[in-house]
Amino acid sequence: VQLQASGGGLVQARGSLRLSCVASGRSFNWYVMGWFRQAPGREREFVAAISRSGDSRYYADSVKGRFTISRDSAKNTVYLQMNSLKPEDTAVYYCAASWSGLYRRDEYDYWGQGTLVTVSS
């Protein structure tokens, strides 16, 4: 499966952005979908994941209550709605697809190219 992420940009603190990730190739519904992020000088970290059905959602503690992950099977797209953004949310955000993983980046089989989110104070 190929993943194409978009929607990043520059936003002020307390603002909002919505990231999108379109999947092509194999069936979108086969995969758990996740978002990760990587800030300069730091390791790539888990942000959020959503089950195949969309019924279950999982978040890192740092974004819980501010970010929402969702998926639209008709559009083969997963979204990350980010509200109340903070400067520490600044990172390159990656979408990923997994057969069976959830929180660990080595459990994900396919990765998008990343989209940069910059939050100014």
Q: Which pLDDT tens digit goes with each residue over 67-106?
A: 999 999 999 999 999 999 999 999 999 999 999 889 999 9
Whole-number Å distance between alpha carbons of 120 and 87:
6
Average pLDDT over residues 12-24: 97
pLDDT over 90 (residue 58): yes
**pLDDT of amino acid 106:** 94
